[in-house]
Structure 1
């Protein structure tokens, strides 16, 4: 995943990268999988975490919304001796696939996979010309639908909030002018316009289209909403003592995870100007007091790891609480249902 927040932006619209599981040792240390455990990998991808968890002796329920990932994982399913279930679904529904006794662990690796970036026909990369698509699940509203149909104000909010693009207004108005003459169809089509509107300066580390492509991908796949729902689903699915481990690659995602753990670990709300509110029930106890990042050696070997942040917590015996999405303070950027067709 990419942004202007210190992440490695070679993946944004990126060239091909070899899939390497990020923070693998740290993820395994936080999950502590062992024989007899049932761990849910909510973001199967190329199966890096799942393979390591199986090697530790645990059983795995793995999910992925990308049908390509499901097809590619069948070899691992066959080799697992019945210890791996691979399911085509969104991770926001993970609690629907938990055993009746609950899960011993949940791991989520948030962001676009290198495999998706490498496939030009998926439309994630502006360095590979392909249809302007970006849908992880290959259904629903595409990036082309958004670019060609969304109101200018909606585009400005999408690019500004999800991409943290300072030139969102200029880019959105240029898109409106161009699409009146001819709709956008390909990744290079959109990237070329953005490069014309906001030319790349010599000192810039990233391509001018990086933030817009990031914003479109996050919006099309409702990545922030999915993450928020998945965190509450994990709370419902984990047994007491179960572990939730989340790896993020973008400041917006990490902020959601941080807010979730702060709200669900029993900390009292309020401020110095108002009386302290009653402490909320503790649904989790933190395993990571500080965010975990990649060491120098891993960051050098795998550029994707440079932006990775890991947070983990232990599920308490408190019954799961109400899913209160207001804690994330996510804005309504546009009505995506109106952009299809």
Structure 2
């Protein structure tokens, strides 16, 4: 285990806001689908004095091992179940445990500081490392290196444009294709340099962030099927929420935030028929009450203390 993990691997965002909207109670059952280093679930256990049953899931075995040790040392009497699993497959874990209802479910869709700051994971171009980007480095998913070197130009452009919302997606994909004709793209710095050269000099000078930021986001989202994971989780979670049970989701960019927003709004409606239709034919009934009309953001104080909280958006809903 890396020595850096023994220092301070990750600082959870919006912890107080999570507690406010999750509203954990003693004796409740809670799911943290993105356990990470346990910042949020630790707060839930502290709020309930350890008298809660919790299930934590994560794809990163190294983070899971560290958090398991910390939680069991701090809360030895609590019922804590941890699994190396994707959060979209939470129902399989709950069914195995015989849990049919949850009092609360939480997702923090951001990747951890430890993952970003570990060059070997390939998430960031700030330090050179292999082009990997898998949340589960022992998993079977394609690596970013395989995507960048093998996918057709049109598919690369689609990925960068759709998941990175990058206006120069086509130009970047063509630049990547030109480069890989004579050299295999293997490292994060190498790819970042290629993307940077695809930007016109004037646009490069005006960019607030590094030109490769959106491309790296897009590749990470594609490699880990992040949109598919979120969609599958949302499609399955409502029946598992007990009456008045709550679901809280923290996202870090507009694609995921839109998905969560529209899911909550649709499930809060009594009818999904077109507005001009004179009477309801859909048979839909409301299953959720939206608790956050607008996304909850970090305070200025938290942003100063933890800069990675700046893009975090929290939305919450309650089962009715």
> Shared topology, TM-score over 0.5?
yes
**CA-atom RMSD in angstroms:** 1.8
User: Offset at 1:76?
Assistant: 2.2
Q: Deviations over 1:244-280 (max 9, x none)?
A: 0111111000000011112212343344555464462
Matches within 5 A, 1:225-244: 225-244=228-247
1:56 paired to 2:52: no
Query: Could you tell me which residue of structure 1 aligns to residue 213 of structure 2?
Result: 210
Do 2:103 and 2:241's aligned partners in 1 also have CA atoms closer than 8 Å?
A: yes
Question: Which of 256, 259, 264 in structure 1 is aligned with 2:262?
Answer: 259
Question: Which of 69, 72, 82 in structure 1 is aligned with 2:66?
Answer: 72
Query: Could you tell me which residue of structure 2 aligns to residue 109 of structure 1?
Result: 108
Aligned equivalents of 1:183, 1:275: Cα separation in 2 = 60
Matches within 5 A, 1:22-171: 22-57=13-48, 58-79=52-73, 80-81=75-76, 82-98=78-94, 99-138=98-137, 139=139, 140-171=141-172
Aligned pair in 2 of structure 1 residues 306, 277: CA closer, same or farther (>3 Å)?
Answer: farther
Structure 1: give runs of 5+ residues left out of the alignment.
1-16, 317-341
Aligned equivalents of 2:230, 2:101: Cα separation in 1 = 20
TM-score relative to the length of structure 1: 0.83
User: Offset at 1:97?
Assistant: 2.3
Aligned equivalents of 1:69, 1:300: Cα separation in 2 = 25
1:296 paired to 2:303: no
Structure 2: give runs of 5+ residues left out of the alignment.
1-7
The count of residues paired between Structure 1 and Structure 2 equals 300
Q: Deviations over 1:91-145 (max 9, x none)?
A: 0011222343411100101121111101110100111111100000112200011
Query: Could you tell me which residue of structure 1 aligns to residue 4 of structure 2?
Result: none
Aligned equivalents of 1:185, 1:101: Cα separation in 2 = 45
Query: Could you tell me which residue of structure 1 aligns to residue 5 of structure 2?
Result: none
Do 1:38 and 1:103's aligned partners in 2 also have CA atoms closer than 8 Å?
A: yes
Query: Could you tell me which residue of structure 2 aligns to residue 339 of structure 1?
Result: none
Aligned equivalents of 2:46, 2:306: Cα separation in 1 = 22
Query: Larger % of helix: which?
Result: 2
Do 1:270 and 1:277's aligned partners in 2 also have CA atoms closer than 8 Å?
A: yes
Q: Deviations over 1:37-90 (max 9, x none)?
A: 111111111110011011112221110011121121121242222422111000
1:188 paired to 2:189: yes
